[in-house]
Amino acid sequence: MFDLITIGDATLDTFLIVDDATLQCDVRREHCQLCLDYAEKIPIKETAQSVGGNAANVAAGASRLGLAAAIVTQLGDDLNGYAIHDALQEAGVDTGLVSLQPRATTRYSIVLSYRGERTILAYHAARRYRLPALPAARWLYYTSLGESFERLQARLAAYLKRHRTLKLAVNPGSYQLKKGREEFAKILPLTDLLIVNKQEAERLAGEKRTMRALCAAVRRLGPKTVVVTDSVRGSFASQGDDLYFLPSYPVKVVSKTGAGDAYASGFLRAYMSGSSLPEAMQWGTANAGGVIQQWGAQTGLLTEKDVRRMIARHPKITPFLRHQCLSL
């Protein structure tokens, strides 16, 4: 039996660290634009390449933390596809559910890193998603898919209804939220754990709200437990009416790519082992803290010993009950 099976697209990410750019923001700094000189050669300070995609990152993070993890994903029968396949195996992820599709291309991303923040240029290869026969598992992690995700999701929902003891964690992708929000929301009543960042939570809720109101709005959609990450500011977690907050650990930020996925794998590792919600938040925060100190979404993933050491180094930074969510 697997501890965790992730379901979602995998990509090959190329990181380009640029210095010769400008940042233009509105007065409140809520909307910013990365500006490059048109028709000019832009020097690259540094470059790196790694496997990415939410499903691949979470599977690799879970494996690093000692869980038996597998991934359901479709790759093209090209160099990028084989590179991802080999990298997943090296990370200890079972690839028996990976499909290499003939004459298809693999998803990839160009990640522009400037002042520690990233702007992503993503190539979404066309897919006809299918859900293969799944082996026994304790948890599924359903995440980013592109156009035509609806068919796979419907089969996933039917599978969950037939396997009542199976737990589901969910983290939506950008396409699912932008163009398939109503269809995607149908999976949330079957969701045990929803992990989103603040912007994703606002898209699900339909508007910007206070965190107190936001958690209530998202919980009305059906998930039993909701976790909302808020970049370097920290994370919130809601179970019942209580809302916990945990600040991020004070580490040097090199790149934020993969931080959310690292948080998810750390949180899941603790949560699946019976830890409390605040304890799971610490595991997620520690794992994200390791990743943001390195280039690439998987380079800085921590082991169990590393996570415990990171938490022990910051004994004064602990989760606390922020306030209660609005009544459901």
- How many domains in the chain? 1
Q: How far is CA 276 from CA 112, 260, 283, 306, in A?
A: 37, 20, 11, 19
Range of the domain at 186: 2-324
Q: Provide the pLDDT for residue 31.
A: 78
Q: Provide the pLDDT for residue 27.
A: 57
Q: Provide the pLDDT for residue 242.
A: 86
pLDDT digits (tens, 9 = 90+) for 155-205: 999 999 999 999 999 999 988 998 888 999 999 999 999 999 999 999 999
What are the residues whose beta carbons fall under 8 Å from the beta carbon of 3, sequence distance 6 or more? 62, 67, 68, 69, 137, 138, 139, 272
pTM over 0.85: yes
Helix (H) or strand (E) holding 246, with range, is: strand 242-246
Q: Provide the pLDDT for residue 327.
A: 44
What are the residues whose beta carbons fall under 8 Å from the beta carbon of 29, sequence distance 6 or more? none
pLDDT digits (tens, 9 = 90+) for 89-108: 999 999 999 999 998 999 88
Picking from 93, 45, 20, 24, the residue whose alpha carbon sits closest to that of residue 295 is 45
Q: Provide the pLDDT for residue 312.
A: 96
Q: Provide the pLDDT for residue 325.
A: 55
CB 248 within 8 A of CB 260: no
CA 292 – CA 46 distance, rounded (Å) = 16
Instruction: Map residue 202 onto helix, strand or coil.
Output: helix
The CATH number of whichever domain residue 22 belongs to comes to 3.40.1190.20
CA 89 – CA 99 distance, rounded (Å) = 14
CB 197 within 8 A of CB 229: yes
- Is 233 buried (19+), middle (13-18) or exposed (0-12) by CB count in 10 A? exposed
Low-confidence residues of the chain: pLDDT under 50: 327-328
Supply 228's token pair.
């909302």
Q: Provide the pLDDT for residue 328.
A: 38
Q: How far is CA 286 from CA 123, 170, 258, 290, in A?
A: 30, 20, 13, 6
CB 233 within 8 A of CB 265: no
